[in-house]
Chain A
């Protein structure tokens, strides 16, 4: 690090491609040393936002500050950033060592220092002995490490990742996620990580910023985003969700909503957003892992009977798809290791969950 870690601040940043808005008035602060994920579906503006921080795209409005200094007019080569690209973008005509040294050579460091820092960086990402290889002779994971070393070796103020793990197979991806997180913590570098993979965002981030349609829809710690999604979109995008359709029948005394489940007609009181009136259609979102199988009666749970329609066995967990009078409910059963047989297709079961585990949202307009 060339000094204490620097933060990044975007205020009112907007970008259009022709007449199509890619990013619309984005406000985002990344604290020094913080690792923030920009999470969203393709086309949500997350990559454009990252490229504006890198200086590869110019914002049409708003201000980007790096370390408190306005960076809008600073070209990428003077921003002192490190970026890991989706395709890694390793120079195909240069060896591993030359790739890593590139940023140092551009900074005109003395040859001995370049060599020492390249060797250090290669040790850091466990690439010793591969100096003379060219990128085409490396595995996907090795390329990833070279890209990481190349971005870090210049000791940038900000590290930017553009979906760098998308091309790796699942096992390797999960290992790289942990490695990147450990390295980022060890170096203490301010990091922005773009991904459309919710697990990746949950694994890597101090904070997740969920984007949709060029805007931030929610920002919070992984726990906050997962446990208290702020909108139907966020709850649906992060993790698996049951969505039970219901109609608002009125307000409860405690300020919650009284709703009637659509097919079954069961009446419930749930916490719900303001601005809902009787007659409005809503969806009750419920995580599969909050659903319990055959719970004891009278535990203060909502009980629903149903028939197992489908069983998805994944080893560590099993998902039960249960048809109930209130609609399809998916329950996640952990593999507890016992030989208690999981229900099979066609079995009659009872499901139970706490009313507090349901979150109520207006359904998306196009549904």
Chain B
């Protein structure tokens, strides 16, 4: 095989993979702008009426509000807890540090369904099923590893000498943290918060065990909706979610750079 054919095959493979990954998204967005009442592709005509239809679905609106509130609270808590955990895990050595680090990362590798069942078994006796608080607690478990990870990665780039310089200049450890470490952690905090918001808003498996009438999240309400009607309203909601996520990721990429968080 010549280098040129090899190169062509590689190009073809890359294009095929990208189409495969992007195809569902490429189909759902045009579907949201169709005139017809079914989810057909390619869509017929052009209309924005399905975006308007979202507003006439109180259950979707309520679920979206729930999801947003859960994501915000879970993210806020995770930022504080995750930052403190990352600082402890990175900056101090103590017995059980390795085990604790593994524990923090466990939700990333655990099968979500196992985690979901386990969380439900813990929350049920506490009366936290079908409550906002229960969902927030469960989502914290899911998003915390992402915050710990991004903050740790940023912390690794913060020279200890900066913190030590602050101490020798008269700053107490807390003042040093507030005036030196925390401002330098900003990129990690922004990235961690963005991932946390997106992942919580999108969380399905674990939420499925915890929701119920009166306390639904958007992904599950969308699933319920799809069971009964397959009109483009769902495509419209999906399009809005894609738009929001893309904007968030772009904002992070612009301000702090995403590549760094996965190095």
Contacts and interface: CB of A to CB of B under 8 A. Distances in A.
Are A and B part of the same complex?
yes
Interface of A: 54-56, 75-83, 85-87, 89-93, 102-103, 106-107, 150-151, 154, 160
Contacts of B165: 83, 85, 89-91, 150
A83 B166 CA distance: 10
Given A91-B180, A93-B183, A102-B166, A77 B161 contact: no
Residue among B165, B168, B172, B180 with the highest chain A CB neighbour number at 10 A: B168
The interface residues of chain B, by DSSP majority, are classed as helix
Contacts of A103: 169-170
Contacts of B172: 75, 77
B46 interface: no
Contacts, number: 67
21 contacts: A56-B167, A77-B167, A77-B169, A77-B170, A77-B172, A77-B173, A80-B170, A82-B168, A82-B169, A85-B164, A87-B161, A89-B159, A89-B161, A89-B162, A89-B164, A92-B184, A93-B183, A106-B166, A106-B170, A106-B171, A151-B169
B185 to A, nearest CB: 10
Given A77-B170, A150-B169, 18 more contacts: A54-B168, A55-B167, A56-B164, A56-B168, A76-B168, A78-B170, A82-B169, A83-B164, A83-B165, A83-B168, A85-B165, A89-B159, A89-B164, A91-B180, A92-B184, A151-B168, A151-B169, A154-B169
B255 interface: no
A154 B170 contact: yes
B175 interface: yes
Interface of B: 159, 161-162, 164-173, 175, 179-180, 183-184
A56 to B, nearest CB: 6
Contact of A91 (B162, B167, B173): B162
B79 to A, nearest CB: 19
Contacts of A106: 166, 169-171, 175
A242 B233 CA distance: 90
B180 A77 contact: no
Query: 10 closest Cβ contacts across the A-B interface?
Result: A103-B169, A89-B161, A106-B170, A89-B165, A83-B168, A76-B167, A106-B171, A85-B161, A77-B170, A93-B183
Residue among A56, A75, A86 with the highest chain B CB neighbour number at 10 A: A56
Nearest to B183: A93
A90 B166 CA distance: 10
A165 B75 CA distance: 45
A186 to B, nearest CB: 21
Contacts of B175: 77, 106
B257 to A, nearest CB: 16
Contacts of B184: 92-93
A83 B169 CA distance: 8
A175 B144 CA distance: 51
Nearest to B171: A106
Nearest to A82: B168
Contacts of B171: 77, 102, 106
Given A85-B161, A93-B184, A102 B169 contact: yes
A79 B165 CA distance: 13
Contacts of B159: 87, 89
B36 to A, nearest CB: 55
A154 B168 CA distance: 11
Residue among B169, B171, B179 with the highest chain A CB neighbour number at 10 A: B169
B187 to A, nearest CB: 11
Contacts of B167: 55-56, 75-77
B188 to A, nearest CB: 14
Nearest to B176: A77
Contacts of A82: 168-169
Residue among A91, A107, A150, A160 with the highest chain B CB neighbour number at 10 A: A91
A82 B165 CA distance: 9
B47 to A, nearest CB: 50
Nearest to A78: B170
Nearest to B175: A106
A151 B171 CA distance: 13
Contacts of B164: 56, 76, 83, 85, 89
A190 to B, nearest CB: 15
A186 B180 CA distance: 31
B172 to A, nearest CB: 5
Contacts of A86: 161
Contacts of B162: 89, 91-92
Residue among A54, A80, A102, A151 with the highest chain B CB neighbour number at 10 A: A102
Nearest to B165: A89
Contacts of A90: 165
A54 B161 CA distance: 13
Contacts of A154: 169-170
A160 to B, nearest CB: 8
B211 to A, nearest CB: 43
A296 to B, nearest CB: 58
A39 to B, nearest CB: 22
A1 to B, nearest CB: 16
